[in-house]
Every structure is written in structure tokens, then in C-alpha cells.
Amino acid sequence: DRPGMITEFVEREIADGNLMGTVTLVARHGKVVHFEAAGRYGLEDDRPMETDALFRIFSMTKPITSVAAMMLYEEGCYQLDDPVAKYLPEFTNTKVWKGEGSLENVEDQTSPMLVKHLFMHTSGLTYGFMNANVVDQEHRNQKIEFPGTAGTLEELVKRLAGIPLIAQPGTRWNYSVSTDVLGRLVEVWSGLSLEAFFKERILEPLGMHDTGFSVTEGNSDRFASLYSPLS
């Protein structure tokens, strides 16, 4: 009974305090064979978890953004080998950090950042939370957060383009804000905000009525609490 093994694992993790509440689902050959809620909504919300609970999906927004971009590729809005600067001119003269020393130790791009680099995380971009180098630090200094309260997607991407890359485009894989820049390109190509494109072209047609960038007021009681490790 392999689905039963999932139940046993989840219940053990909840009992050990590693998880608060979960919803697990397994589908095989087009049929749901396991769909189960366990645990509670939160430390201060003792209600049993329910299968229609809402959770933050964080970077699982990335595949949705990539689907949006590929839909526009199919519609002929761009080519994968197009320079990003063709659509976002602010990246035309973005410098590249040489890998050591201060943030001023930079060089020009030897080849431009291409759209395909954003899909592949080989754009030379990074994340502030990596805490690995002075470029990451500058991300934190300038509050480059997607999403966040530091500005619109357009404004954040323009600020981002003023920060050096950590490597020449196409030369190194690095998990990064590449998909956030791709989301900005979706806005440029479609003429819609990313949120509107998601809703009109992907989420509503697929019946994903509870998926979005915010939780509607009527659904707040279904929103599960979020916790992170203390160390």
C-alpha cells in the first residue's frame, strides 16, 4: 500500500514537529489514487487541515511564467536567441562582475544576455538571498525582491539592470531572478500585466480559480500558516 506509506510519512513528520499541516495528492494514469489532508492550519489555528486549503507556491510560479512565455513564443512574439535588451533596453550596457574584489571590478558583456538564458538560469543574474558575493549583497541593498513592496515589476527590473551580473551570459548556471525578468518580458510582449496574463490566458481557462498573487478576502480562512526553521 504505497499511498499508505505517504500517510505514515506525513503523520510522522507532523508528530516530530517538522510539518504543521499538509495536503498530498498522487495521480496515476489520469486518476487520483491518493488525496489526503493531515495536521492543522497553524500553531494558532487548531482547525484540522482540509484538502481545499490554500498554500504559498513560491517558485512554482516559475513554470507558470515559463508557460506564459512559451505561449507568446508560439504566437511569434520573439525568438529564443533574441537579446533581452531588444525588449528591455536597460540591459544593453549591464556590466559583469569579474568574480572577485569589489562591485566596481567589472567588465563589459562579451556576448549579450539572450531570452533563452532566462529560461535556463544562465543569464548571469542571481538572488540576494544567496549571500555568496558582493553582487548578491547589492541585490539586498537595493531591495530587489520579487514580489515585494519595492516597486512594480517594471521598476524592479530597471533597477536590477543597473547591478552587475555574476558571470558572462550563457557561461554559468545560477538560480536567480531570471524568471522574474522573463515575467517582465511577458508584460512587454503581451501588453498585459503578468497577473492579468496569468488570469486571462492560463488560470481561468484551466479552472485554477484559487491561484493568484494574492488571497481574496473570502478565501482568507482557507490560507494555511507558513513557518520556517529557526536555524
59 in active site: yes
Contacts of 201 (CB under 8 A, 6+ apart): 68, 71
- Catalytic position from the list 59, 214, 220, 228: 59
How far from the centroid of its chain's Cα atoms is residue 63's Cα?
A: 8
45 with 225: CB under 8 angstroms? yes
Active-site residue set: 59
